[in-house]
Amino acid sequence: MAPHTVNGGGDGQVDTIVGDAASVPAASAGAPVVETAVATVDAGASVIGEQMASDVRPWLDFVDKLRAFGIEQDMPIPQLSVMGDQSSGKSSVLEFLSGVPFPRGTGLVTRCATQLSMKRVLGQSFRGSAKVRWGEAHQPDASGPIRSKAEVADKIEQLTAALVGDGEFSDGGTIVVELEAADLPDLTIIDLPGLVRTTTAGQSKSIIAQVDGLVQRYLESERTIVLCVVPANVDIATSDILERAHKVDPMGDRTVGVLTKLDLVGRGSEDEVVQVLENVRKPLQLGYVGIKCRSQAGLKDNQSLEDARHEESVFFRTHPVFRQLSPDVHGVETLSKKLTRVLVSRIRAATPTMAADISAQLKDTDVALKELGGAPPTTCEQRQGAYVQRVVAFLDVLRAAMRGQYDDPSVFSDTSNRLCTMAHKSFDACGQCITKDLRPPFGDDAYLTDIKQRVENSRGRDLACFPSVAVFNAVVKEAVAKWADPAATCREAVVDILRAVVRRLAERNCGKYPALTAHVVGLAMEVVDEVAGTCTAALDLLLVYEGTPLTMNPALMAAVNQRRKTVFDRLAKTIANHAQECVRSGHTPNLDMQHYDVSLLSSPQEILTAVEAYWQVASLRFSDNVAMAVQHMLEVAYARLGTVLYTSLADVDLATLFAEDGGLRARRMALEAKRTRLRHAQAALRKLNGA
């Protein structure tokens, strides 16, 4: 069975009253719900018996505990909200219900939330205390014990001044007044500022919206019992507070109407008031109660609340119209009983839902905290262990990314972390460019003509039947020079990929600690720059090697012989075709070789054959060497990074590295505080249910 959160708001002040209902046992299946009534205690006398008080007390304690835990931040708790205009008699209603005087004055008297918790303790003299529940660690000087009921109003005013300060209003804290005595009712009242219609001298225009926002939050809570206080001497049908309550509670099943100032109703207007109290006009499911509080004359004469209650009783017995009303619709005692019945019923009904909500939120909070990871290490030993643990995890996943071991879906479901795959795509692109895109046009006549021209221009004492090695070397060197760009492009692409993957993996493993992430990424970038420079030098050296043709690969001569065979086959076919033509025409074939184009056997053709054959060997070899050099760069980067990260442990300020991100720290603290609140609430629920 759970308490009700009161979020009240309307065209008036909001005061929340929580009756002591928590210990009412749950009804058995099919049995009617019994609503326990708690009578408000007259000054110096108890209206409810000891057994009734013992039944009610656990419920009130339960509600007060939830509020003290701050569970209202997570869910509404059952409570009663008293609302009315500043001139509606709200303060008098609160005094009548509580038996405790409230601050009075003109303008906005209540400038912050005030929780008044009263406990009826038989045989105990008055005892009280006051404090502020706010975001500060200290308490105001005005906080502390209260010696008598008469001091309550002054104490509230002092704490209001401390909480509000130089401002006009505060919704960031709550004054908590706790009272115990034998003649107090079991009630908890939360008094909120009344709605401001128009500002007075010295008030800012913003105060209207600020107060309205606070009250509206209470009004809109689905577990709030809305107590609408309306002066009986105004047009009740057009009451703004009733209209606002109707908007949030159209069925009227959590709205109670209270008519005040019945003694000021003019002659001839009583019938309208009677129709409202009898729930004929402007009906509410929970109905109305009329009360007569202290008059202005009574306030001026310092009339006691006991005398005022007696005067109210006389008023309803003797009034010519209102004396005909049922006792169920008038009097402060009737109102107190009615509110308690409704509140206890709401608490009982809300408890199962609240229990489920608390369990669900607690589970979600635990999951959220788990996702944030453990709290930051605090000792030097813990930080060293955490540093090594983070570095090991980072290096392990980086190695997996480099070697294509994509077993961890939490990392490698993001394909941008698959470093090995992306590197191999760069290797393929480099090989494609070198072996295909940059392949010389060996079959073009212009290319052979260029070689012939080179041979002519380089002719020395060499005999014409010997190919020119110098021309061969020059042609190869020019072709190899074009390989520099794709090799550099491949290296740069893989270096960029490495940088991006390292950064992402570092953020993944160390992201909750920005300084640690920056440390790992910073060292990693230095290592990447270092190995990238070494790789560039290695590729430059490969180009130098390839610029001087050399190979022991037998594939070279196989390719040369294959090309020569192709040339000879072409020449032989030409001669055979000539002979067949001569036979058909009756001429004698001319077998003199000079009669045929033997340029295919010339020195330029031999050079072309050698260049093409060498290209097939060298281009594949260089493509492989580029891939191996860049892959080696990755392996060196991994090994070097591990060394640097471990050796840097002696030179870093670990406390700085493990300073958690401000936003993350705030979220962790908020989640931990929420978990604590929910656990306390869960324990209170178990205790309430006798577990």
Confidence at residue 100, expressed as pLDDT on a 0 to 100 scale? 82
Task: Give me the pLDDT at residue 462, please.
Answer: 63
pLDDT at residue number 442: 80
Three-point CA angle 644, 648, 649, nearest 5°: 130
Q: State the average pLDDT over residues 32-57.
A: 45
> What is the reported pLDDT for 656?
87
Comparing 306-310, 456-460, 595-599, 653-657, which segment has the lowest mean pLDDT? 595-599
Note whether 168 and 81 are within 8 A (CB).
no
Mean pLDDT for 133-146 is: 87
| pLDDT the model gives residue 51 | 54
Of the candidates 128, 147, 131, 148, the one whose C-alpha atom is nearest the C-alpha of residue 139 is: 131
Encode burial over 595-619: b for 16+ CB neighbours within 10 A, e otherwise.
Answer: eeeeebebbbbbbbbbbbbbbbbbb
Cβ-contact 631, 475 below 8 angstroms: no
C-alpha 319/C-alpha 542 separation (Å) is 114
Confidence band of 585 (pLDDT split at 50, 70, 90)? confident
pLDDT of residue 590: 60
pLDDT of residue 54: 62
Residue type, 540: D
Confidence label for 32 from pLDDT (cuts 50, 70 and 90): very low
Is pLDDT at 596 greater than 80 in this prediction?
no
- Cα separation, 184 vs 380, whole angstroms: 56
The secondary structure of 36-88, three-state, reads CCCCCCCCCCCCCCHHHHHHHHHHHHHHHHHHHHCHHHCCCCCEEEEEECCCC
Sorted by sequence, the CB contacts under 8 Å of residue 182 that are 6+ apart come out as 46, 120, 121, 122, 123, 124, 125
| Res 1: pLDDT | 37
Assign 92 a pLDDT band (cuts: 50, 70, 90).
confident
Give the pLDDT mean for 382-387: 91
> For position 296, what pLDDT does the model report?
81
Domains contained in the chain, CATH given: 13-351 (3.40.50.300), 382-659 (1.20.120.1240)
For the chain, what percent of residues have pLDDT higher than 90? Answer: 38
User: Of 115-119, 290-294, 630-634, 661-665, which has the strongest mean pLDDT?
Assistant: 630-634
DSSP percent split of the chain into helix, strand, coil, nearest 5: 60, 10, 30
Question: Which of 90-99, 147-156, 317-326, 390-399 has the least mean pLDDT?
Answer: 90-99
How confident is the model over 450-466, as pLDDT tens digits?
A: 888 787 777 666 655 56
pLDDT at 637 over 80: yes
Q: What is the mean pLDDT of residues 467-473?
A: 79
Q: Is the dihedral of CA 360, 362, 368, 370 positive or negative?
A: negative
Over residues 239-260, the mean pLDDT reads: 90
Which of 46-55, 176-185, 626-635 is predicted least confidently? Answer: 46-55
Q: What is the pLDDT of residue 53?
A: 60
Q: Average of pLDDT values for 586-608?
A: 59
pLDDT of residue 588: 64
Taking the alpha carbons at both ends of the chain, their separation in whole angstroms is 13
For position 664, what pLDDT does the model report? 84
Residue bearing the bigger pLDDT, 525 or 181: 525
The answer, yes or no, to whether residue 355 has pLDDT greater than 50, is yes
pLDDT at 467: 66
User: Do 272 and 280 form a contact (C-beta atoms < 8 A)?
Assistant: no
**Interval 134-139 mean pLDDT:** 82
The per-residue pLDDT of the chain, averaged, comes to 82
Could you tell me the two tokens for 193?
A: 């500022």
Whether the pLDDT of residue 13 is over 70: the answer is no
Name the band, by pLDDT with cuts 50, 70 and 90, for residue 322: very high
Is residue 480 within 8 A of residue 540, CB to CB? The reply is no
The pLDDT value recorded for residue 463 is: 55
Q: Which of 22-26, 192-196, 256-260, 473-477 has the lowest mean pLDDT?
A: 22-26
pLDDT above 70: residue 403: yes
What pLDDT score was predicted for residue 427?
96
> Higher-confidence residue: 636 or 184?
636
Of the candidates 350, 120, 334, the one whose C-alpha atom is nearest the C-alpha of residue 225 is 350
pLDDT at 190: 77
Tell me the mean pLDDT in the region 388-409. Answer: 95
